[in-house]
Amino acid sequence: MIAAVRPEFRADVLVFPAEDPVFGGGACRVGPCPRPARGHGLCQGHHLRWVGAGRPELDEFAATTDPRWRRQRPNMKCRVLGCGFGAARGGLCQLHHQRWDRAGSPDPDDWAAPWAALRPPAPGAACRIGHCQLWPQAALPFCHSHANTWKVNGRPDVEVFARRFDEITTTEEVTIRLGGLGPQLKLEIQYALQCRRDQPSTKTLPAVVMALVRLLAATDTVSLLDRDEHEWRTQIGRPAPRDGGPRCWFTPAARSATSPTLAAGRPSSTETSGRCAASGSPATSS
Ligand SMILES: [Zn+2]
Ligand SMILES: [Zn+2]
Ligand SMILES: [Zn+2]
């Protein structure tokens, strides 16, 4: 029975790239941004930025805005030429700001900073955050801003903290989590997902599947075969979820569970070599 589900679907957590033809909602329209699109074809972060900018013309916004996430954009450098410390106050690093202060706060453009007196760190030393080129702050492994963020976060392990900045964190909208389901039910859902992959007639967005998974997890269901199709349609998820998506997806999922390949208790000799049952096709196409 387990053999009917291919290894790539046999996991508690399934993550699909935004551009997946069946399970992806499309990628953000901001150039190389890898995050899945939501409103107006923009990922959550870029959508926020677009709204914050007063909802400018979308194509132009997508073409001109910084594709990086905010936390991957470089911190500002001290404005004194040749200084690699991060800006702390008024565009100056802490040391240059102190000197500028002692010099009587002259016009920064006219102020010739006593650069030679400022000792740079060891050659090649840089903030430990992968993309950050700034000099580390005193004895700390991070530049001014990243050191502040690190302190605010309770000074966690340096390596762990640094890694968090470079990870492309998977967001919930591309993730299906099946850990809350019993073994039989989990297998049936995994198999239904696999059938969707093999018969890609409609999109199946992870959010819709998750709505169904949550409905199932709230019941004492052991298998989709516990009830017949009519019972599922009329009994599950009362009051009915506002969004009909989970229901639409549920029928083909239940049907694929009756496939000879997966049916509970069937001896494995009846396997149809992993093919999805014909009844497993989506309700929308029948
Ligand atoms: Zn984006
Ligand atoms: Zn400086
Ligand atoms: Zn840094």
Tens digits of pLDDT across the chain (286 residues): 567 889 999 999 898 887 788 888 788 888 778 777 877 888 888 898 999 999 999 999 999 888 876 666 778 888 888 889 999 988 889 988 888 888 888 876 777 655 555 677 887 789 998 878 899 988 899 999 999 989 988 999 999 888 877 665 556 678 899 998 999 999 989 998 998 888 877 788 888 888 888 888 888 888 888 877 777 766 665 544 444 555 556 666 666 666 655 554 433 333 333 445 433 333 333 3
Distance between CA atoms of residues 11 and 99, nearest Å: 59
Give the Å distance between the CA of 39 and the centre of ligand 1: 11
Q: Which ligand sits nearest to residue 115's alpha carbon? A: 2
Cβ neighbours around 27 below 10 Å, total: 19
Q: Report pLDDT for 279.
A: 39
Q: Report pLDDT for 282.
A: 37
Q: Which ligand sits nearest to residue 168's alpha carbon? A: 1
Distance between CA atoms of residues 46 and 33, nearest Å: 9
Query: For the chain, how far is it from start to end, CA to CA, in angstroms?
Result: 27
Q: Tokens 């509970």: give the residue.
A: 264
Q: Which residues contact 29 (CB under 8 A, 6 or more apart)?
A: 37, 41, 42, 58, 62
Q: Report pLDDT for 270.
A: 36
Q: Report pLDDT for 72.
A: 67
The model scores a pTM over 0.75: no
Give the Å distance between the CA of 145 and the centre of ligand 2: 14
Q: Which residues contact 256 (CB under 8 A, 6 or more apart)?
A: 188, 191, 192, 195, 262, 276, 277, 279, 280
Distance between CA atoms of residues 148 and 102, nearest Å: 24
Alpha helices in the chain (DSSP H): 44-52, 58-64, 94-102, 144-152, 158-166, 183-198, 206-217, 229-235, 245-257
Q: Which ligand sits nearest to residue 113's alpha carbon? A: 2
Give the Å distance between the CA of 65 and the centre of ligand 1: 10
Distance between CA atoms of residues 54 and 57, nearest Å: 9
Q: Report pLDDT for 50.
A: 92
Q: Which residues surround ligand 2, an ion (CB under 5 A)?
A: 78, 80, 83, 85, 93, 96
| Contact (CB, 8 A) for 11 and 5 | no
| Contact (CB, 8 A) for 64 and 54 | no
Q: Is the dihedral of CA 62, 67, 70, 73 positive or negative?
A: negative
Q: What's at 274, amino acid-wise?
A: G
Domain boundaries, the chain: 2-24+172-282, 39-72, 94-163
Give the Å distance between the CA of 66 and the centre of ligand 1: 9
Q: Which ligand sits nearest to residue 144's alpha carbon? A: 3
Give the Å distance between the CA of 65 and the centre of ligand 3: 22
